[in-house]
Structure 1
Amino acid sequence: MALSPQWLDELRARTTLSAVIGRTTRLTKAGREFKACCPFHNEKTPSFYVNDEKGFYHCFGCEAHGDAIRWLTDQRGMPFMDAVKELAAEAGMEVPAPDPRAAKQAEKRASLHDVTAAAQAWFEGNLRGAEGAHARSYLARRGFSDATIREFGFGYAPEDRQALKRALGAFEEPMLIEAGMRITVEDKEPYDRFRNRLMLPIHDTRGRVIAFGGRILDAEANPKAPKYLNSPDTPLFDKGRTLYNLHRAAPAARQSGRMIVVEGYMDAIALANAGIAEAVAPLGTALTENQIELLWRQVEKPILCFDGDNAGQRAAMRAIGRALPLLRPGHSLSIVRLPAGMDPDDLIREKGVGAIEALLDKPASLLDTLWEYEKAAAPLNSPEDKAGLKARLMGHVDQIQDAEIKALYRRELNDRFSAFAFPPRQQREFTPRKEWKKGDWNRPAATVSPEVASQLRRAMDGGSRDAFSKAVIAGLIRFPDQLVRHEQALSEFARRDQNVGPAIDLLLETAETLDLRDGSPISLERGLPALPAKTHFAFLDEGTDPDEAREDLAEAVSLLVERPALESAMAEATARFARDPEGSIAEQARLRERLLALNERLKQFGRRKAAGPDDSDS
């Protein structure tokens, strides 16, 4: 009976590992995992951990490791198929019926494993022989230790086009071709795929050789030949579903809590040679969705560590593009960009392993990388350029499938774009005019052009303006020096409020053209528009001391700015109801109380009288 990898993955996904192990072993909750004293060896301090999310158990004492099927076979001694049938029954899955064709394919895969294992032994022997001297010299120049050479299984493929066929004569030609070791061309004799190359075996997660990669040794003599050559896809090898060195890096990642993704297998080996064992690499393609899922089974935020050139940056962005639709709570990518023109081996050689460790300790987030990449992707000199930046950013956001993550990315990138595209005006020094006396309201007016005066009047006289907003605008026209004092708050408010914001923006721009040192008001053609008769504001009353009027106006500005911020927060809390009803209701209640209190303060503020204690609270 042949069970497909997809079916077994589905079985594991439907099985809660802690429930299976908990039947015979007492587990204790430890954060997001469970721990226990290891059932495979005697110990007094728990070093056995079970991770339901990743679907495996691991003992840091005896290195026992496996999934639910492995637990039943190793701990309870069940045959493989009995373990599968028991788990399938509990998961409500039907075990596939025997398939003769699948059985034959499984037998063929076993035979192809024999081919790749024999080829690997032959390549390693060649490296140690006379023909491998050139390849050994290259490895010595790269600084790879003998231990690293043995661990990673370096070998050598000789130049002879028929050498592998003679060495693996026990296997028929069709098997050698199907394993990717030989190339067949119509009307020509098949020939060896790898020739005069430094060879590296590629393994599956069980550590079996399934393919090869070969690095050219005489690039100058063969300028048209690819620098690196990988096996083609075969029944054993799917390059989009395989990560180089994963079978070694996964145990190391469980110890360090990180997984590093580099561009090529020589980069992964260079890191291992320097003592960083948790590095993997894609195989000649951009990081695929399947490879990202493989990484997330090991750690929640793998670190992409690509070369510091334009090609490396593009590779990182391609990986980000693949990851965006897959993002889910807690799972993302981190990105390290190496110095320009350097790969990991270069950086380690020039500055030591500490230099790359320092970069790995402080990777950039996926969101930070998106922002910086798009901001540098094109000139941003005009409004159209900036609009293009926003469109590119929102295009990335639209790829995200998780609604909550999409909303958070949209908000964060919108905030960054707003801060970049609409920077706060430069803060200017505010000097209060303490020498003004009560009743000194008839000072000369600050002169603006008739056109600006007309624009300001229209801005204040808009039909949608409420009495309070009109009063604040009038107060700022009477005391334009207060625009400088409250410039930051007013700028933030103008960006948020589509109703009053344009008038505030116009006032701020006007103030930049005036000399405000003498405290003169702004003169509007035909005076100020009238306010509703029932409203009264001390900062507009000519009987109020100028300094007191300014403080009253400051409070009015504070109220004006706070109201739209609370209304916006209320709208966001309401929009979250479908995803988080309890949190949304609680947030709405809190904001509603603040809005009610604010509205009451606004009502009281509008009823204030500048004269007499009898009607001061009416």
Structure 2
Amino acid sequence: MAIPQLFIQDLLERTDVVEVVGRYVQLKKAGANFVGLCPFHAEKTPSFSVSQSKQFYHCFGCGKSGNAIGFLMEMTGAGFLEVVQGLAQQYGLEVPDDRRGPAEREQEARAREARARLAALLAQASAAYSKLLRSSRAAIGYLKRRGLSGAIARDFGLGWAPDGWQTLAEVFSDYESPLLVEAGLVIAQEGPPARRYDRFRQRVMFPIRGIRGDVIGFGGRVLDDSKPKYLNSSDGTLFHKGRELYGLFEARRAVRERGYALVTEGYMDVVALAQSGFLNAVATLGTACTPEHVQKLFRFTDQIVFSFDGDAAGRAAAHKALNVALPYAEDTRTLKFLFLPPEHDPDSFVRSQGVAAFQEQVDRAIPLSRFLIDAAAEQCAMDTAEGRSHFAAKARELWQRLPDGALGRQLLGDIATRVQLDVQELERLWGLSGTADRRLAPASVDVRGAAPAPARPTPSVRASSARSYPSDRTAARALQIVLTASESWLALSSTDHQLLCDMPTPYGPLFAWVERQLQESGPQTWPVFRSRLTDQALAEVAEDLVRRIPAEIKPEASELESILRAQRPSYLKKRMNAALAEGNLGLYRVLLADYTAAKK
């Protein structure tokens, strides 16, 4: 989707940054500006200033600054497109797309209406479950035994689903509505005989909220040890368990204030930790940690602490989280791994050992650099040459997933020391000598002892002359810049976006893919792009282009602007001719104005 820059400007002119910021920060008038406590870092004296005349905010403490759109992206963790659409909806505007036809716009409008209807049903169900909790002695007794107060149950919107098969028939006037099935509240079996019944029965209910605070799904827990202990909403229009984190909406402010997010494995862990003062805890939803989880958390903080049970299952989950997190381990970020004693989870540990003891465990969490070494060394006899060789093979698979930077280079030295080689010898062994991009394509690896997957050919083996795609030096260089410095894309106009996306295959499709990624998730590093690029043909092109970047050449937004400045006139002229051929004089006049400006 390419949003015209004029629309963004119009939207910002309609938006009052003071009103937007004031929804989250208590502001006071101070001269020409408004001031308040910064929502992005902990402070006692206000250093956060909002200018109504300039429609701009700036924190003199942490340096965060921007307009209303940037503030909402920072505060809510939403992507650019989602924030723009939300603001546009508030002002009764439809977000235009230079490349959408009437049918596509109508389809998107219907999709938005469907999402709104589903959200309303889930909100109604959440209110009903909360009301039912107040009359359930068994559920209240269970929560009290777990040490939870009424206040914390209210803050998280906890509820109760009774044992009846059709309790929700008393909540919704049309129990036969297919929307209840789509919302994950009701299960419909075609039969014979046909049956329709509530998905959640005799469970404590945990509403799962999206980044805007809307209920998007539920998790339900039984009161005893019957199976399944936890039951989630099914994946659907609003809810995808591999993307969402329980408690993130409630924890977002505490995550910023405490400086880190604490990732646990269960709903009860989050609520119990919040009860004990750890308001920055979140949980995965019965699934292993995913790239979407890590990426979402890094929108709110630069430090993540993963908390795992100390048993075999917890160690296995930690290995998976390590694999997922490595491409995001940039030098300005911190990832740590906390292992509790095997008999405890965070909930039981806090209740039995106390808050101070749990805080000590957090403070002693293992940094990613050490856990990577420890994980690779598992089941390797490090006192033998064979064991060290096995360790080197496993460590290589993990190390290659790191983005280029100081952390990766230091770890290379640590790995070399463990293998009893010098760094240069290890680089030659791994085929790294003389290459600009030291990272091979990310690959999944079982760090617990399985044989590593075959490595992709190194640049010295895979000659660039073997490329089968057409050579275009201008398009290739522009793509190299965008893939390795994706923030440069955000500074471009919608016309420039379309220019790049209209380039011939494979360049245009790759630019279009990058645009979708940035609108969904914001700027990303090359290793993250590579891990998400599933089209094999495009992936090979992107790998080849990044691999051929000389080590001494750094991506610069100014260079991308120079490339586009040279391309704009001919591109706009081509579009003008097409507009004339179609008889679209309105579009022709707009393009003519752009063309005249581009020729200056």
Give the TM-score normalised by the residue count of structure 1. 0.56
Determine the C-alpha separation between the residues in 1 that align with 2:324 and 2:118. 32
Shift of 1:320: 1.1
Q: Which residue of 1 aligns with 2:71?
A: 57
Alignment of structure 1 residues 140-289 onto 2, 5 Å: 140-170=144-174, 172-187=176-191, 188-219=194-225, 222=226, 225-289=227-291
Alignment of structure 1 residues 555-566 onto 2, 5 Å: none
Q: Which residue of 1 aligns with 2:354?
A: 352
Deviation per CA, 1:148-205, whole angstroms, max 9, x where unpaired? 0111111111111122233323454311111001112231302211111111100001
Determine the C-alpha separation between the residues in 2 that align with 1:185 and 1:389. 52
Deviation per CA, 1:49-93, whole angstroms, max 9, x where unpaired? 6356998438x9xx99999899999999993638x67xx9xxxx7
Contact 1:199 1:215 in 2 (8 A): yes
Q: Which residue identity does 1:182 align to in structure 2?
A: V
Q: Which residue of 2 aligns with 1:390?
A: 392
Q: Which residue identity does 2:404 align to in structure 1?
A: A
Q: Which residue of 1 aligns with 2:441?
A: none
Q: Which residue of 2 aligns with 1:128?
A: 134
Determine the C-alpha separation between the residues in 1 that align with 2:252 and 2:122. 23
* Residue segments in structure 2 that go unaligned for 5+ positions in a row: 19-31, 429-548, 555-600
Determine the C-alpha separation between the residues in 2 that align with 1:231 and 1:39. 43
Contact 1:243 1:281 in 2 (8 A): yes
Q: Which residue of 2 aligns with 1:365?
A: 367
| Change in 2 beyond 3 A, CA 1:77/1:163 | closer
Deviation per CA, 1:468-493, whole angstroms, max 9, x where unpaired? xxxxxxxxxxxxxxxxxxxxxxxx99
Contact 1:50 1:56 in 2 (8 A): no
Pick the structure with greater CA Rg.
1
Contact 1:207 1:247 in 2 (8 A): yes
Q: Which residue of 1 aligns with 2:49?
A: 37
| Change in 2 beyond 3 A, CA 1:53/1:260 | farther
1:104 to 110, 113, 136: 110
Determine the C-alpha separation between the residues in 1 that align with 2:233 and 2:379. 35
In structure 2, the residue corresponding to 1:240 is in which secondary structure? coil
Q: Which residue of 2 aligns with 1:408?
A: 409
Contact 2:270 2:283 in 1 (8 A): yes
Determine the C-alpha separation between the residues in 2 that align with 1:66 and 1:235. 17
Deviation per CA, 1:444-481, whole angstroms, max 9, x where unpaired? xxxxxxxxxxxxxxxxxxxxxxxxxxxxxxxxxxxxxx
Determine the C-alpha separation between the residues in 1 that align with 2:82 and 2:318. 36
Alignment of structure 1 residues 480-491 onto 2, 5 Å: none
| Change in 2 beyond 3 A, CA 1:68/1:109 | closer
Contact 2:59 2:65 in 1 (8 A): no
Contact 1:198 1:214 in 2 (8 A): yes
Alignment of structure 1 residues 5-44 onto 2, 5 Å: 36-39=48-51
Q: Which residue of 2 aligns with 1:315?
A: 317
Matched length: 403
Determine the C-alpha separation between the residues in 1 that align with 2:325 and 2:134. 42
| Change in 2 beyond 3 A, CA 1:255/1:95 | farther
Q: Which residue identity does 2:119 align to in structure 1?
A: H
Contact 1:155 1:199 in 2 (8 A): yes
Determine the C-alpha separation between the residues in 2 that align with 1:340 and 1:78. 50
Q: Which residue identity does 2:378 align to in structure 1?
A: A
| Change in 2 beyond 3 A, CA 1:229/1:405 | farther
Contact 1:120 1:201 in 2 (8 A): yes
Determine the C-alpha separation between the residues in 1 that align with 2:264 and 2:105. 40
Determine the C-alpha separation between the residues in 1 that align with 2:145 and 2:346. 16
| Change in 2 beyond 3 A, CA 1:94/1:37 | farther
Deviation per CA, 1:274-327, whole angstroms, max 9, x where unpaired? 011111111111111111110111111211112222212211210110122344
Larger relative contact order (CA 8 Å, sep ≥ 6): 2
| Change in 2 beyond 3 A, CA 1:65/1:346 | closer
Alignment of structure 1 residues 306-345 onto 2, 5 Å: 306-345=308-347
Q: Which residue identity does 2:144 align to in structure 1?
A: A
In structure 2, the residue corresponding to 1:287 is in which secondary structure? coil
Determine the C-alpha separation between the residues in 1 that align with 2:364 and 2:65. 26
Determine the C-alpha separation between the residues in 2 that align with 1:175 and 1:66. 26
1:79 to 78, 84, 91: 91
Shift of 1:378: 4.3
Contact 2:17 2:67 in 1 (8 A): no
| Change in 2 beyond 3 A, CA 1:312/1:51 | farther
In structure 1, the residue corresponding to 2:93 is in which secondary structure? helix
Deviation per CA, 1:212-243, whole angstroms, max 9, x where unpaired? 00001232xx4xx2110000111111111211
Determine the C-alpha separation between the residues in 1 that align with 2:418 and 2:58. 56
| Change in 2 beyond 3 A, CA 1:356/1:55 | farther
Determine the C-alpha separation between the residues in 2 that align with 1:205 and 1:74. 12
Shift of 1:347: 1.8
Alignment of structure 1 residues 292-303 onto 2, 5 Å: 292-303=294-305
Q: Which residue identity does 1:57 align to in structure 2?
A: F
Determine the C-alpha separation between the residues in 2 that align with 1:75 and 1:203. 20
In structure 1, the residue corresponding to 2:298 is in which secondary structure? helix
Contact 2:47 2:59 in 1 (8 A): no
Determine the C-alpha separation between the residues in 2 that align with 1:284 and 1:202. 13
Shift of 1:252: 1.4
Shift of 1:47: 7.8
Alignment of structure 1 residues 369-384 onto 2, 5 Å: 369-380=371-382, 382-384=384-386
Determine the C-alpha separation between the residues in 2 that align with 1:64 and 1:211. 18
Shift of 1:127: 0.9
Contact 1:73 1:80 in 2 (8 A): no
- Indicate the RMSD between aligned Cα atoms, in angstroms: 4.7
Shift of 1:357: 1.4
Determine the C-alpha separation between the residues in 2 that align with 1:75 and 1:108. 19
Contact 2:166 2:198 in 1 (8 A): yes
Q: Which residue identity does 1:340 align to in structure 2?
A: P
* Residue segments in structure 1 that go unaligned for 5+ positions in a row: 423-491, 499-576, 583-618
Determine the C-alpha separation between the residues in 2 that align with 1:120 and 1:352. 32
Contact 1:54 1:298 in 2 (8 A): no
Determine the C-alpha separation between the residues in 1 that align with 2:161 and 2:328. 40
In structure 1, the residue corresponding to 2:50 is in which secondary structure? coil
Contact 2:307 2:338 in 1 (8 A): yes
| Change in 2 beyond 3 A, CA 1:44/1:236 | closer
| Change in 2 beyond 3 A, CA 1:177/1:391 | same
| Change in 2 beyond 3 A, CA 1:95/1:81 | farther
Contact 2:34 2:50 in 1 (8 A): no
